[in-house]
Structure 1
Amino acid sequence: MLKLILIGTGNISRFLFDVLVDQPDVSVVQVLGRNIQALDYFRDRAKVSSDFKAIEQADLYILAVSDEAISEVSRKLQIESGLLVHTAGSISMDALPKEMRRGVLYPLQTLSGILPEKMKDIPLCVEAGFEEDYLLLEKLARLISDRVVRITSEKRKLLHLSAVFANNFSNHLFYLSSEICEEHGVDFDLIRPLIRESCTKVMNQNPFDAQTGPARRGDQRTLEEHLGMLTSARLKEIYKVLTKSIQHTYGKEL
Protein backbone atom coordinates (compact mmCIF):
# COMPACT_ATOMS: atom_id res chain seq x y z
CA MET A 1 0.00 0.00 0.00
CA LEU A 2 1.46 3.33 -1.11
CA LYS A 3 1.04 5.95 1.62
CA LEU A 4 0.48 9.41 0.13
CA ILE A 5 0.18 12.94 1.52
CA LEU A 6 -1.14 15.87 -0.50
CA ILE A 7 0.11 19.35 0.36
CA GLY A 8 -2.11 22.09 -1.03
CA THR A 9 -5.85 22.51 -1.58
CA GLY A 10 -6.12 23.93 -5.11
CA ASN A 11 -7.25 22.43 -8.44
CA ILE A 12 -4.37 19.99 -8.83
CA SER A 13 -4.63 18.71 -5.26
CA ARG A 14 -8.39 18.23 -5.59
CA PHE A 15 -8.03 16.46 -8.90
CA LEU A 16 -5.32 14.09 -7.67
CA PHE A 17 -7.29 13.43 -4.51
CA ASP A 18 -10.44 12.49 -6.46
CA VAL A 19 -8.45 10.18 -8.73
CA LEU A 20 -6.41 8.48 -6.02
CA VAL A 21 -8.47 8.40 -2.84
CA ASP A 22 -10.40 5.26 -3.83
CA GLN A 23 -7.50 3.42 -5.46
CA PRO A 24 -7.04 0.05 -3.70
CA ASP A 25 -3.23 0.30 -3.71
CA VAL A 26 -3.08 3.89 -2.43
CA SER A 27 -3.81 5.34 0.99
CA VAL A 28 -4.23 9.14 1.13
CA VAL A 29 -2.92 9.50 4.67
CA GLN A 30 -3.36 13.27 5.01
CA VAL A 31 -4.10 16.52 3.21
CA LEU A 32 -2.28 19.65 4.41
CA GLY A 33 -3.22 23.21 3.53
CA ARG A 34 -3.16 26.74 4.88
CA ASN A 35 -6.77 27.44 3.88
CA ILE A 36 -8.96 25.87 6.56
CA GLN A 37 -12.15 26.34 4.52
CA ALA A 38 -10.60 24.70 1.45
CA LEU A 39 -9.72 21.67 3.58
CA ASP A 40 -13.44 20.97 3.95
CA TYR A 41 -13.36 19.47 0.43
CA PHE A 42 -11.17 16.61 1.71
CA ARG A 43 -12.32 16.33 5.31
CA ASP A 44 -14.89 13.55 4.94
CA ARG A 45 -12.54 11.21 3.09
CA ALA A 46 -9.11 11.90 4.61
CA LYS A 47 -7.37 13.35 7.65
CA VAL A 48 -6.70 17.07 7.17
CA SER A 49 -4.58 19.68 8.91
CA SER A 50 -3.55 23.30 8.50
CA ASP A 51 -0.55 22.78 10.77
CA PHE A 52 2.44 21.84 8.61
CA LYS A 53 4.32 20.72 11.72
CA ALA A 54 1.68 18.01 12.16
CA ILE A 55 2.69 16.30 8.93
CA GLU A 56 2.60 12.53 9.14
CA GLN A 57 5.03 10.10 7.54
CA ALA A 58 4.38 8.61 4.11
CA ASP A 59 6.04 7.07 1.05
CA LEU A 60 5.21 10.00 -1.22
CA TYR A 61 4.46 13.68 -0.62
CA ILE A 62 2.88 15.66 -3.47
CA LEU A 63 3.44 19.39 -3.17
CA ALA A 64 0.57 20.92 -5.15
CA VAL A 65 1.01 24.60 -4.31
CA SER A 66 1.66 27.73 -6.37
CA ASP A 67 5.00 27.94 -8.19
CA GLU A 68 6.11 30.79 -5.93
CA ALA A 69 5.43 28.78 -2.76
CA ILE A 70 7.22 25.55 -3.72
CA SER A 71 10.64 26.42 -2.32
CA GLU A 72 9.31 28.08 0.85
CA VAL A 73 6.79 25.38 1.76
CA SER A 74 9.13 22.48 0.97
CA ARG A 75 11.65 23.81 3.48
CA LYS A 76 9.05 23.91 6.24
CA LEU A 77 8.18 20.24 5.90
CA GLN A 78 9.62 17.89 8.50
CA ILE A 79 9.96 14.75 6.42
CA GLU A 80 12.04 11.92 7.81
CA SER A 81 11.83 9.70 4.74
CA GLY A 82 9.83 9.34 1.57
CA LEU A 83 9.82 11.10 -1.79
CA LEU A 84 8.79 14.76 -2.10
CA VAL A 85 7.58 15.93 -5.54
CA HIS A 86 6.08 19.12 -6.89
CA THR A 87 3.60 19.41 -9.77
CA ALA A 88 4.78 22.57 -11.56
CA GLY A 89 5.71 22.74 -15.23
CA SER A 90 8.11 25.66 -15.11
CA ILE A 91 9.95 24.97 -11.83
CA SER A 92 13.13 22.89 -11.66
CA MET A 93 13.34 19.85 -9.41
CA ASP A 94 16.22 21.73 -7.74
CA ALA A 95 13.67 24.06 -6.10
CA LEU A 96 13.16 21.25 -3.59
CA PRO A 97 15.73 20.76 -0.79
CA LYS A 98 18.68 18.78 -2.11
CA GLU A 99 18.99 16.80 1.12
CA MET A 100 15.60 15.20 0.43
CA ARG A 101 14.57 12.53 -2.04
CA ARG A 102 12.86 14.70 -4.62
CA GLY A 103 11.06 14.61 -7.94
CA VAL A 104 8.37 16.07 -10.18
CA LEU A 105 4.91 14.85 -11.20
CA TYR A 106 3.67 17.30 -13.87
CA PRO A 107 0.32 16.81 -15.64
CA LEU A 108 0.52 18.46 -19.07
CA GLN A 109 -3.05 19.64 -19.02
CA THR A 110 -5.26 22.34 -17.59
CA LEU A 111 -7.12 20.43 -14.88
CA SER A 112 -9.88 22.93 -14.16
CA GLY A 113 -13.15 21.10 -14.74
CA ILE A 114 -11.61 17.99 -16.32
CA LEU A 115 -13.18 14.66 -15.38
CA PRO A 116 -10.87 12.00 -13.89
CA GLU A 117 -11.80 9.49 -16.59
CA LYS A 118 -10.56 11.94 -19.25
CA MET A 119 -7.09 11.88 -17.70
CA LYS A 120 -6.02 8.54 -19.20
CA ASP A 121 -4.78 10.16 -22.43
CA ILE A 122 -3.10 13.15 -20.77
CA PRO A 123 0.72 13.08 -20.47
CA LEU A 124 2.15 12.86 -16.98
CA CYS A 125 5.77 14.02 -16.95
CA VAL A 126 7.92 12.54 -14.18
CA GLU A 127 11.41 13.32 -12.95
CA ALA A 128 13.43 11.94 -10.03
CA GLY A 129 16.98 11.76 -8.77
CA PHE A 130 17.17 7.98 -8.41
CA GLU A 131 15.87 5.00 -10.35
CA GLU A 132 13.89 3.67 -7.37
CA ASP A 133 12.11 7.01 -7.12
CA TYR A 134 11.36 7.00 -10.84
CA LEU A 135 9.77 3.58 -10.43
CA LEU A 136 7.70 4.78 -7.46
CA LEU A 137 6.46 7.83 -9.38
CA GLU A 138 5.69 5.81 -12.50
CA LYS A 139 3.70 3.30 -10.47
CA LEU A 140 1.53 6.10 -9.10
CA ALA A 141 1.33 7.97 -12.41
CA ARG A 142 0.02 4.90 -14.25
CA LEU A 143 -2.97 4.84 -11.92
CA ILE A 144 -3.85 8.25 -13.35
CA SER A 145 -2.76 8.16 -17.00
CA ASP A 146 -1.68 5.76 -19.73
CA ARG A 147 0.90 8.30 -20.95
CA VAL A 148 3.74 8.51 -18.43
CA VAL A 149 6.96 10.13 -19.68
CA ARG A 150 10.35 10.57 -18.04
CA ILE A 151 11.62 14.06 -18.77
CA THR A 152 14.27 16.42 -17.42
CA SER A 153 13.57 19.79 -15.81
CA GLU A 154 14.99 21.59 -18.86
CA LYS A 155 12.74 19.79 -21.34
CA ARG A 156 9.74 20.08 -19.03
CA LYS A 157 10.22 23.85 -18.93
CA LEU A 158 10.27 23.90 -22.73
CA LEU A 159 7.07 21.83 -22.78
CA HIS A 160 5.48 24.30 -20.38
CA LEU A 161 6.51 27.22 -22.61
CA SER A 162 5.07 25.46 -25.65
CA ALA A 163 1.86 24.77 -23.71
CA VAL A 164 1.49 28.47 -22.90
CA PHE A 165 1.52 29.25 -26.63
CA ALA A 166 -0.85 26.39 -27.48
CA ASN A 167 -3.32 26.85 -24.63
CA ASN A 168 -3.07 30.15 -22.76
CA PHE A 169 -2.33 32.39 -25.73
CA SER A 170 -4.85 30.70 -28.01
CA ASN A 171 -7.55 30.98 -25.33
CA HIS A 172 -6.77 34.68 -24.96
CA LEU A 173 -7.23 35.07 -28.71
CA PHE A 174 -10.61 33.34 -28.39
CA TYR A 175 -11.48 35.91 -25.73
CA LEU A 176 -10.42 38.81 -27.97
CA SER A 177 -12.51 37.33 -30.77
CA SER A 178 -15.52 37.26 -28.46
CA GLU A 179 -14.88 40.88 -27.48
CA ILE A 180 -14.86 41.98 -31.13
CA CYS A 181 -18.14 40.15 -31.68
CA GLU A 182 -19.72 41.69 -28.59
CA GLU A 183 -18.56 45.19 -29.49
CA HIS A 184 -20.30 44.98 -32.87
CA GLY A 185 -23.39 43.02 -31.83
CA VAL A 186 -22.39 39.73 -33.49
CA ASP A 187 -23.17 36.38 -31.85
CA PHE A 188 -19.89 34.70 -30.83
CA ASP A 189 -21.64 31.32 -31.08
CA LEU A 190 -21.22 31.67 -34.84
CA ILE A 191 -17.44 31.43 -34.29
CA ARG A 192 -17.52 28.30 -32.09
CA PRO A 193 -17.83 25.76 -34.96
CA LEU A 194 -14.73 27.32 -36.56
CA ILE A 195 -12.79 26.98 -33.30
CA ARG A 196 -13.89 23.36 -32.98
CA GLU A 197 -12.87 22.54 -36.55
CA SER A 198 -9.49 24.28 -36.14
CA CYS A 199 -8.75 22.26 -33.01
CA THR A 200 -9.83 19.03 -34.72
CA LYS A 201 -7.67 19.79 -37.73
CA VAL A 202 -4.52 20.40 -35.69
CA MET A 203 -5.02 17.01 -34.00
CA ASN A 204 -4.70 15.29 -37.38
CA GLN A 205 -2.12 17.32 -39.29
CA ASN A 206 0.93 19.48 -38.76
CA PRO A 207 -0.03 23.00 -37.61
CA PHE A 208 2.23 24.38 -40.35
CA ASP A 209 0.03 22.77 -43.01
CA ALA A 210 -3.22 23.72 -41.24
CA GLN A 211 -2.59 27.48 -41.40
CA THR A 212 -5.04 29.49 -43.53
CA GLY A 213 -6.08 33.14 -43.73
CA PRO A 214 -5.09 36.42 -45.39
CA ALA A 215 -1.61 36.61 -43.85
CA ARG A 216 -0.60 33.24 -45.32
CA ARG A 217 -2.22 34.09 -48.66
CA GLY A 218 -0.49 37.46 -48.77
CA ASP A 219 -3.87 39.21 -49.13
CA GLN A 220 -2.70 42.74 -48.37
CA ARG A 221 -6.06 44.35 -49.14
CA THR A 222 -7.86 42.26 -46.50
CA LEU A 223 -5.08 42.78 -43.96
CA GLU A 224 -5.31 46.56 -44.33
CA GLU A 225 -9.12 46.45 -44.19
CA HIS A 226 -9.02 44.44 -40.96
CA LEU A 227 -6.63 46.93 -39.36
CA GLY A 228 -8.98 49.76 -40.32
CA MET A 229 -11.90 47.97 -38.66
CA LEU A 230 -10.16 47.56 -35.32
CA THR A 231 -10.90 50.41 -32.91
CA SER A 232 -8.37 49.41 -30.24
CA ALA A 233 -4.68 50.30 -30.63
CA ARG A 234 -3.85 47.23 -28.56
CA LEU A 235 -5.78 44.93 -30.91
CA LYS A 236 -4.16 46.58 -33.92
CA GLU A 237 -0.72 45.85 -32.48
CA ILE A 238 -1.63 42.22 -31.75
CA TYR A 239 -2.99 41.83 -35.28
CA LYS A 240 0.21 43.27 -36.77
CA VAL A 241 2.52 41.10 -34.65
CA LEU A 242 0.67 37.89 -35.50
CA THR A 243 0.42 38.82 -39.17
CA LYS A 244 4.16 39.44 -39.36
CA SER A 245 4.86 36.13 -37.64
CA ILE A 246 2.70 34.23 -40.15
CA GLN A 247 4.25 36.08 -43.07
CA HIS A 248 7.73 35.29 -41.76
CA THR A 249 6.79 31.62 -41.47
CA TYR A 250 5.35 31.40 -44.99
CA GLY A 251 7.37 34.20 -46.56
CA LYS A 252 8.43 32.13 -49.54
CA GLU A 253 4.80 31.74 -50.55
CA LEU A 254 4.11 35.48 -50.75
Structure 2
Amino acid sequence: MISVILLGAGNVATHLYKAFSNSETVSVTQWYNRTRTSISSYANEVDITDSLDELKEADVYIIAVSDDSIAQLSADLPFTNRFVVHTSGSVAMHDIDKKNQIGVFYPLQTFSKDADIDFSEVPICVEVYEKENLELLRDLARAVGCKPHKITTEQRQTLHLAAVFVNNFTNQLYRIGHEICETKNIEFEILHPLIEETAKKIQQMSPFMAQTGPAKRNDKKTIKRQLKLIEKEEHEAIYKMLTSSIKKTHNVSSFRSRKGKSETN
Protein backbone atom coordinates (compact mmCIF):
# COMPACT_ATOMS: atom_id res chain seq x y z
CA MET A 1 0.00 0.00 0.00
CA ILE A 2 1.39 3.40 -1.03
CA SER A 3 0.65 6.12 1.52
CA VAL A 4 0.08 9.61 0.14
CA ILE A 5 -0.38 13.06 1.62
CA LEU A 6 -1.98 15.67 -0.61
CA LEU A 7 -0.97 19.31 -0.28
CA GLY A 8 -3.44 21.70 -1.91
CA ALA A 9 -7.13 21.74 -2.75
CA GLY A 10 -7.38 22.81 -6.39
CA ASN A 11 -8.71 20.87 -9.37
CA VAL A 12 -5.70 18.55 -9.67
CA ALA A 13 -5.61 17.74 -5.94
CA THR A 14 -9.34 17.03 -5.88
CA HIS A 15 -9.20 14.65 -8.83
CA LEU A 16 -6.10 12.92 -7.47
CA TYR A 17 -7.87 12.40 -4.14
CA LYS A 18 -10.83 10.79 -5.89
CA ALA A 19 -8.58 8.57 -8.00
CA PHE A 20 -6.44 7.50 -5.05
CA SER A 21 -9.54 6.83 -2.93
CA ASN A 22 -10.80 4.41 -5.57
CA SER A 23 -7.49 2.53 -5.68
CA GLU A 24 -6.95 -0.63 -3.69
CA THR A 25 -3.21 0.00 -3.40
CA VAL A 26 -3.12 3.68 -2.42
CA SER A 27 -4.03 5.20 0.93
CA VAL A 28 -4.54 8.94 1.32
CA THR A 29 -3.12 9.36 4.80
CA GLN A 30 -3.88 13.06 5.05
CA TRP A 31 -5.02 16.08 3.06
CA TYR A 32 -3.56 19.51 3.79
CA ASN A 33 -4.73 22.90 2.65
CA ARG A 34 -3.98 26.29 4.19
CA THR A 35 -7.72 26.99 4.18
CA ARG A 36 -9.40 24.11 5.96
CA THR A 37 -12.87 25.00 4.69
CA SER A 38 -11.81 24.16 1.12
CA ILE A 39 -11.54 20.47 2.03
CA SER A 40 -13.95 20.33 4.99
CA SER A 41 -16.51 18.37 2.95
CA TYR A 42 -14.06 15.44 2.92
CA ALA A 43 -13.49 15.42 6.68
CA ASN A 44 -15.52 12.23 7.15
CA GLU A 45 -13.41 10.41 4.55
CA VAL A 46 -9.84 11.48 5.24
CA ASP A 47 -7.81 13.22 7.92
CA ILE A 48 -7.68 16.91 6.94
CA THR A 49 -5.49 19.68 8.32
CA ASP A 50 -4.57 23.31 7.74
CA SER A 51 -1.34 23.05 9.73
CA LEU A 52 1.95 21.90 8.21
CA ASP A 53 3.16 21.02 11.69
CA GLU A 54 0.46 18.34 11.90
CA LEU A 55 1.58 16.50 8.78
CA LYS A 56 2.03 12.76 9.27
CA GLU A 57 4.56 10.44 7.68
CA ALA A 58 3.86 9.04 4.21
CA ASP A 59 5.61 7.44 1.27
CA VAL A 60 5.10 10.51 -0.89
CA TYR A 61 3.90 14.09 -0.38
CA ILE A 62 2.18 15.52 -3.46
CA ILE A 63 2.20 19.30 -3.84
CA ALA A 64 -0.78 20.23 -6.01
CA VAL A 65 -0.95 24.03 -5.74
CA SER A 66 -0.47 26.95 -8.13
CA ASP A 67 2.91 27.06 -9.86
CA ASP A 68 3.96 30.21 -8.02
CA SER A 69 3.33 28.58 -4.63
CA ILE A 70 5.28 25.35 -5.08
CA ALA A 71 8.71 26.60 -4.03
CA GLN A 72 7.49 28.36 -0.90
CA LEU A 73 5.26 25.51 0.25
CA SER A 74 8.07 23.00 -0.20
CA ALA A 75 10.40 25.27 1.79
CA ASP A 76 7.83 25.52 4.59
CA LEU A 77 7.52 21.76 5.05
CA PRO A 78 8.69 20.98 8.62
CA PHE A 79 10.69 17.85 7.80
CA THR A 80 13.67 16.64 5.77
CA ASN A 81 14.67 13.64 3.63
CA ARG A 82 11.12 12.67 2.73
CA PHE A 83 9.85 12.22 -0.82
CA VAL A 84 8.10 15.37 -2.10
CA VAL A 85 6.78 15.82 -5.65
CA HIS A 86 4.78 18.47 -7.48
CA THR A 87 2.16 18.08 -10.22
CA SER A 88 3.04 21.04 -12.45
CA GLY A 89 3.78 20.77 -16.15
CA SER A 90 5.95 23.88 -16.32
CA VAL A 91 7.75 24.22 -12.96
CA ALA A 92 11.25 22.73 -12.72
CA MET A 93 11.68 19.76 -10.42
CA HIS A 94 14.48 21.60 -8.65
CA ASP A 95 12.09 24.32 -7.51
CA ILE A 96 11.21 21.91 -4.71
CA ASP A 97 13.36 22.58 -1.65
CA LYS A 98 16.41 20.28 -1.63
CA LYS A 99 16.02 19.42 2.05
CA ASN A 100 13.76 16.60 0.83
CA GLN A 101 13.97 14.01 -1.93
CA ILE A 102 12.29 15.51 -4.98
CA GLY A 103 10.28 14.50 -8.04
CA VAL A 104 7.38 15.29 -10.35
CA PHE A 105 4.05 13.50 -10.80
CA TYR A 106 2.41 15.37 -13.69
CA PRO A 107 -1.00 14.20 -14.95
CA LEU A 108 -1.29 15.52 -18.49
CA GLN A 109 -4.97 16.38 -18.62
CA THR A 110 -7.35 19.31 -18.19
CA PHE A 111 -9.13 19.22 -14.84
CA SER A 112 -12.36 20.87 -13.74
CA LYS A 113 -13.74 20.02 -10.30
CA ASP A 114 -17.23 19.21 -11.57
CA ALA A 115 -16.14 17.12 -14.57
CA ASP A 116 -15.43 13.41 -14.04
CA ILE A 117 -12.09 12.09 -15.27
CA ASP A 118 -11.26 8.54 -16.31
CA PHE A 119 -7.72 8.28 -15.01
CA SER A 120 -7.04 5.20 -17.12
CA GLU A 121 -6.96 7.65 -20.05
CA VAL A 122 -4.57 10.12 -18.35
CA PRO A 123 -0.83 9.95 -19.11
CA ILE A 124 1.28 10.51 -16.00
CA CYS A 125 4.70 12.06 -16.59
CA VAL A 126 7.16 11.19 -13.83
CA GLU A 127 10.55 12.63 -13.00
CA VAL A 128 12.85 11.97 -10.05
CA TYR A 129 16.20 13.15 -8.79
CA GLU A 130 16.92 10.07 -6.69
CA LYS A 131 16.64 7.04 -8.98
CA GLU A 132 15.34 4.81 -6.19
CA ASN A 133 12.08 6.79 -6.16
CA LEU A 134 11.26 6.22 -9.82
CA GLU A 135 9.49 2.90 -9.35
CA LEU A 136 7.36 4.34 -6.54
CA LEU A 137 5.95 7.00 -8.86
CA ARG A 138 5.44 4.45 -11.61
CA ASP A 139 3.55 2.21 -9.18
CA LEU A 140 1.49 5.18 -8.00
CA ALA A 141 0.48 5.97 -11.59
CA ARG A 142 -0.39 2.34 -12.31
CA ALA A 143 -2.41 2.17 -9.09
CA VAL A 144 -4.95 4.58 -10.58
CA GLY A 145 -4.92 2.90 -13.99
CA CYS A 146 -2.54 5.35 -15.68
CA LYS A 147 0.42 4.71 -17.94
CA PRO A 148 3.56 6.33 -16.49
CA HIS A 149 6.04 8.11 -18.77
CA LYS A 150 9.57 8.84 -17.54
CA ILE A 151 10.59 12.20 -19.00
CA THR A 152 13.04 15.02 -18.40
CA THR A 153 12.20 18.52 -17.19
CA GLU A 154 12.73 19.90 -20.70
CA GLN A 155 10.45 17.27 -22.22
CA ARG A 156 7.75 17.91 -19.61
CA GLN A 157 7.88 21.67 -20.10
CA THR A 158 7.72 21.18 -23.88
CA LEU A 159 4.71 18.90 -23.46
CA HIS A 160 3.04 21.54 -21.32
CA LEU A 161 3.69 24.15 -24.02
CA ALA A 162 2.15 21.84 -26.63
CA ALA A 163 -0.78 21.24 -24.27
CA VAL A 164 -1.43 24.99 -24.08
CA PHE A 165 -1.80 25.05 -27.86
CA VAL A 166 -4.00 21.95 -28.20
CA ASN A 167 -6.11 22.59 -25.09
CA ASN A 168 -6.14 26.16 -23.79
CA PHE A 169 -5.86 27.89 -27.16
CA THR A 170 -8.29 25.46 -28.78
CA ASN A 171 -10.80 26.07 -26.00
CA GLN A 172 -10.51 29.80 -26.63
CA LEU A 173 -11.36 29.13 -30.28
CA TYR A 174 -14.40 27.17 -29.08
CA ARG A 175 -15.39 30.21 -27.03
CA ILE A 176 -15.07 32.47 -30.08
CA GLY A 177 -17.12 30.01 -32.14
CA HIS A 178 -19.74 30.00 -29.37
CA GLU A 179 -19.82 33.79 -29.40
CA ILE A 180 -20.16 33.94 -33.18
CA CYS A 181 -23.07 31.48 -33.04
CA GLU A 182 -24.80 33.55 -30.36
CA THR A 183 -24.73 36.68 -32.53
CA LYS A 184 -27.12 34.93 -34.97
CA ASN A 185 -29.07 32.89 -32.37
CA ILE A 186 -27.50 29.61 -33.49
CA GLU A 187 -27.17 26.73 -31.02
CA PHE A 188 -23.47 26.00 -30.45
CA GLU A 189 -24.41 22.35 -29.85
CA ILE A 190 -24.83 21.95 -33.61
CA LEU A 191 -21.01 22.07 -33.81
CA HIS A 192 -20.47 19.32 -31.20
CA PRO A 193 -20.32 16.41 -33.71
CA LEU A 194 -17.75 18.33 -35.79
CA ILE A 195 -15.62 18.98 -32.70
CA GLU A 196 -15.79 15.32 -31.71
CA GLU A 197 -14.96 14.06 -35.22
CA THR A 198 -11.97 16.40 -35.46
CA ALA A 199 -10.64 15.05 -32.17
CA LYS A 200 -11.16 11.46 -33.36
CA LYS A 201 -9.33 12.00 -36.64
CA ILE A 202 -6.03 13.01 -35.05
CA GLN A 203 -5.99 9.71 -33.19
CA GLN A 204 -5.81 7.94 -36.54
CA MET A 205 -3.70 10.36 -38.61
CA SER A 206 -1.35 13.28 -38.08
CA PRO A 207 -2.82 16.79 -37.63
CA PHE A 208 -1.03 17.71 -40.86
CA MET A 209 -2.92 15.06 -42.82
CA ALA A 210 -6.21 15.81 -41.03
CA GLN A 211 -6.24 19.50 -41.99
CA THR A 212 -9.21 20.62 -44.09
CA GLY A 213 -10.95 23.92 -44.77
CA PRO A 214 -10.75 26.99 -47.02
CA ALA A 215 -7.16 27.89 -46.10
CA LYS A 216 -5.91 24.37 -46.96
CA ARG A 217 -7.85 24.48 -50.27
CA ASN A 218 -6.74 28.05 -50.99
CA ASP A 219 -10.44 28.90 -51.37
CA LYS A 220 -10.03 32.66 -51.66
CA LYS A 221 -13.72 33.38 -52.28
CA THR A 222 -14.80 31.61 -49.08
CA ILE A 223 -12.07 33.31 -47.06
CA LYS A 224 -13.15 36.69 -48.37
CA ARG A 225 -16.82 36.02 -47.57
CA GLN A 226 -15.99 34.84 -44.06
CA LEU A 227 -13.83 37.87 -43.35
CA LYS A 228 -16.82 40.05 -44.23
CA LEU A 229 -19.01 38.09 -41.79
CA ILE A 230 -16.65 38.66 -38.85
CA GLU A 231 -17.84 41.49 -36.63
CA LYS A 232 -14.99 41.87 -34.14
CA GLU A 233 -11.47 43.02 -35.03
CA GLU A 234 -10.00 40.56 -32.53
CA HIS A 235 -11.74 37.64 -34.25
CA GLU A 236 -10.65 38.92 -37.66
CA ALA A 237 -7.02 39.09 -36.53
CA ILE A 238 -7.15 35.52 -35.23
CA TYR A 239 -8.82 34.29 -38.43
CA LYS A 240 -6.13 35.92 -40.58
CA MET A 241 -3.28 34.68 -38.41
CA LEU A 242 -4.49 31.07 -38.42
CA THR A 243 -5.32 31.17 -42.12
CA SER A 244 -1.79 32.38 -42.85
CA SER A 245 -0.35 29.67 -40.61
CA ILE A 246 -2.31 26.93 -42.39
CA LYS A 247 -1.32 28.29 -45.80
CA LYS A 248 2.34 28.36 -44.79
CA THR A 249 2.17 24.83 -43.39
CA HIS A 250 0.65 23.47 -46.59
CA ASN A 251 2.63 25.67 -48.99
CA VAL A 252 -0.41 27.58 -50.21
CA SER A 253 0.11 31.02 -51.75
CA SER A 254 -0.69 34.09 -49.66
CA PHE A 255 -4.18 35.51 -49.41
CA ARG A 256 -5.22 39.12 -49.39
CA SER A 257 -7.33 40.96 -46.86
CA ARG A 258 -10.55 42.75 -47.68
CA LYS A 259 -8.40 45.86 -48.17
CA GLY A 260 -6.18 44.08 -50.66
CA LYS A 261 -3.02 44.00 -48.54
CA SER A 262 -0.90 40.90 -48.24
CA GLU A 263 -1.30 38.98 -44.95
CA THR A 264 1.84 36.84 -45.14
CA ASN A 265 4.04 38.85 -42.79
TM superposition score normalised by structure 2: 0.91
The whole-number CA distance in structure 1 between the counterparts of 2:2 and 2:148 is: 18
**Equivalent runs, 1:141-180 vs 2, <5 Å:** 141-180=141-180
Q: CA deviation at 1:40?
A: 1.2
Once the two structures are superposed, the pairs formed by residues 114-193 of structure 1 within 5 Å of their partners are 114-115=115-116, 118-193=118-193
Runs of 4+ in 1 over 4 A off after TM superposition: none
Q: 1:68 corresponds to which letter in structure 2?
A: D
Partner of 1:70: 70
**CA distance, structure 2, for counterparts of residue 94 and residue 80 of structure 1:** 15
Q: For the Cα contact (< 8 Å) 1:121–1:146, is it kept in 2?
A: yes
Partner residue of 2:262? none
For 2:17 and 2:218, locate their aligned partners in 1 and report how far apart those are by CA, in whole Å. Answer: 51
| CA deviation map 1:205-244 (0-9, x unaligned) | 1110110111111111211111111110101100010001
Residue 202 of structure 2 aligns to a residue whose secondary structure is helix
Supply the distance in 2 between the matched residues of 1:82 and 1:223 (Cα, whole angstroms): 59
For residue 224 of structure 1, what is the aligned residue in structure 2? 224
Q: CA deviation at 1:72?
A: 1.0
Aligned residues of 1:58 and 1:81 also touching (Cα < 8 A):
no
Instruction: Give the Å deviation of 1:60.
Output: 0.6
Deviation at 1:114, TM superposition (A): 4.7
2:47 matched to 1:50? no
Q: Compare 162-171 and 36-45 and name the one that shifted more.
A: 36-45
Following superposition, the deviation at residue 25 of structure 1 comes to: 3.1
Aligned residue in 2 for 1:103: 103
CA distance in 1: counterparts of 2:190 and 2:139, whole angstroms: 45
- 1:252 positional shift: 5.1
What is the CA distance between 1:30 and its match in structure 2? 1.0
The 3-state SS of whatever aligns with 1:85 is strand
Compute the displacement of 1:253 (Å): 7.7
213 and 161 in structure 1: CA distance in 2 versus 1, 3 angstrom threshold: same
Question: What is the Cα deviation at residue 61 of structure 1?
Answer: 0.2
Q: What is the rounded CA distance, in whole Å, between the counterparts of 2:54 and 2:128 in structure 1?
A: 26
State which drifts further: 61-70 or 8-17. 8-17
Distance 2:204 2:238 in 1: 28
Secondary structure of 1:104's aligned partner: strand
Unaligned ranges ≥5, structure 1:
none
The 1:51/1:230 distance shift into structure 2, 3 A limit, reads same
Identity %: 37
Deviation of residue 3 (structure 1)?
A: 2.2
User: What is the number of equivalent residue pairs in this alignment?
Assistant: 253
Structure 2 unaligned regions, length at least 5 = 255-265
> Are the aligned partners of 2:123 and 2:149 in contact in 1 as well (CA < 8 Å)?
yes
The Cα RMSD (Å) is 1.6
The answer as to whether partners of 1:101 and 1:129 remain within 8 angstroms in 2 is yes
In the alignment, residue 184 of structure 1 is paired with which amino acid? K
1:141 Cα offset (Å): 1.1
The letter for the 1-side match of 2:184 is H
Query: Paired residue for 1:236?
Result: 236
Q: Which moved more, 1:239-248 or 1:43-52?
A: 43-52
Aligned to 1:206: 206
1:146 positional shift: 3.6
